[in-house]
Amino acid sequence: MTKKFFTRLEDDLNSRKEKYLYRESGLYKNYQHNLASNDYFQLRSHPNVINGIKKACEKYGSGSGASPLLSGFLQCHQDLLDEILNWKKKRSGMLFNSGFVANQALLKHLPGKKDLILADRLIHHSLAQALLQCPAKFKRYGHLDIPELENLLRKYSKDFDTIFVVTESVFSMDGDYPDLKNLVQLKNIFPFILILDEAHGTGVFGKDGSGLAEEMGVLSEVDILVGTFGKALASMGAYVLANNSSIINYLTNVAGEYIYSTFLAPSQVGAAHEAIKLLKNFDKQRDKIRKLSKYFRNSLEQNSLSYESPIIPVLIEDPKETIILRDRLLEKGILVGAVRPPTVPGKTSRLRISLHSGVEKTLVDELLSFLNTWKQNIK
């Protein structure tokens, strides 16, 4: 009986290897430039962030010691939450141990049996997986396709108690983002609850780095805002913020992802808190990343010229070729992501290049030269 089990696992893994879709964790060594990280402002090693970790550990210890509903919610958690609420201009909120579980909690517990979820086709796996576990019905609209979303709202607006619209600000694999101004205008015609994942928009967009919703002037129209500490904030964990406190109170009472887990370590909280303080004043760094992104995209001649996020996909299509190019760049001391199905749709394997504030134009030009040589060789 057990032999069949292990044979099934090995057969699946061998099939993935044959298709160049096999994943493995490991150390990448001997690179000088990390363009695979989401640490957009290189704050993981910033002295203020490191000092925030030390102070939090000295005051509160190495761990929270319990779930948040027992004794795990400490003063440092409250201080961080207050900082985020003020930064993101929301009334109520809560912290989670990761962005994945935060998204799971939202979609598994808030929508009911008589509700409908309309979600962008390319939402993060944490959201997509939760759609399959929640009691509500759901439909996916074309990526960034606001007209299709409007048609779905018009078609179903009277058939359900509540409609939820779910999207990301900056999409993690494509680096593009929706026209949030046009999206929220639909709320004037078809009332719905808007859930926005700002994981990759935080730090990069907004006059004080609070995100794309703030930059586009629609923050007050976002009903539920979710984000992480693991990208620009150089830590771990996540937050869920809302205009209505009933949303947070309800999740506190029903979300097992929150109730039954030891809470965020003080070190993570201290790091995130200091990172927020720094990001608020990183205007020059934000401007540098966005200008460099635009230059890179224009030079690539891909259909993403209007976007300025640090995430830049270079479509290769073939997963084997994607791995080969990743390894060749690593030999040159440049680490980039090699993203293949099922993380992205079939035939869209890509190099995922993630810019940060320490990247200079000379490095981008080196990448462009490498990619241009590859394009010429395959013609």
Q: Catalytic annotation on 200?
A: yes
pLDDT at 305 over 80: no
> What does the pLDDT average to over 110-128?
96
Query: pLDDT tens digits, residue range 130-143?
Result: 999 999 999 999 99
At 304, the pLDDT band (50, 70, 90 cuts) reads: low
Report how far residue 231's alpha carbon sits from residue 169's, in angstroms, rounded to the nearest whole number. 14
Looking at the chain, the domain(s) classified CATH 3.40.640.10 span 47-279
Q: Catalytic annotation on 124?
A: yes
> Token pair for residue 22?
């096999």
CATH class of 47-279: alpha beta
* Annotated catalytic residue within 231, 273, 288, 356: 231
Count other C-beta atoms under 10 Å from residue 89's C-beta. Answer: 15
Predicted local distance difference test score (pLDDT) of residue 136 = 96
* Annotated catalytic residue within 39, 120, 168, 198: 168
SS3 content of the chain, % helix, strand, coil (to 5): 45, 15, 40
* Annotated catalytic residue within 197, 198, 215, 257: 197
* Annotated catalytic residue within 98, 172, 304, 354: 172
Q: Catalytic annotation on 231?
A: yes
CATH code linked to domain 22-41+283-378 = 3.90.1150.10
> What does the pLDDT average to over 238-254?
98
Q: Catalytic annotation on 168?
A: yes
Q: Which residue has the higher pLDDT, 29 or 313?
A: 313
pLDDT at 264 over 80: yes
8 A C-beta contact, residue 267 and residue 257: no
Looking at the chain, the domain(s) classified CATH 3.90.1150.10 span 22-41+283-378
> What does the pLDDT average to over 27-50?
95
Q: What SS3 state is found at 313?
A: strand
Q: Catalytic annotation on 38?
A: yes
At 303, the pLDDT band (50, 70, 90 cuts) reads: low
330-335 contact pairs (CB < 8 A, 24+): 330/28, 330/30, 330/31, 332/366, 332/370, 333/30, 333/31, 333/32, 333/33, 334/31, 334/32, 334/33, 334/35, 334/363, 334/366, 334/367, 335/28, 335/31, 335/33, 335/34, 335/35, 335/36
* Annotated catalytic residue within 108, 109, 200, 356: 200
* Annotated catalytic residue within 33, 38, 108, 357: 38
pLDDT at 308 over 60: yes
- What mean pLDDT, rounded, does the chain reach? 95
Query: pLDDT tens digits, residue range 80-99?
Result: 999 999 999 999 999 999 99
pLDDT at 1 over 90: no
> What does the pLDDT average to over 153-170?
96
What percentage of the chain reaches a pLDDT higher than 90? 94
* Annotated catalytic residue within 77, 109, 124, 273: 124
Range with the poorest average pLDDT among 253-257, 263-267, 302-306 = 302-306
> What does the pLDDT average to over 166-178?
96
Query: pLDDT tens digits, residue range 267-287?
Result: 999 999 999 999 999 999 999
At 45, the pLDDT band (50, 70, 90 cuts) reads: very high
- The residue behind tokens 């370590």 is 265
Query: pLDDT tens digits, residue range 175-200?
Result: 999 999 999 999 999 999 999 999 99
Query: pLDDT tens digits, residue range 353-379?
Result: 999 999 999 999 999 999 999 988 876
Torsion angle (degrees, nearest 10) of CA 261, 262, 267, 271: 20
8 A C-beta contact, residue 238 and residue 209: no
> What does the pLDDT average to over 45-55?
98
State the pTM of this model. Answer: 0.95
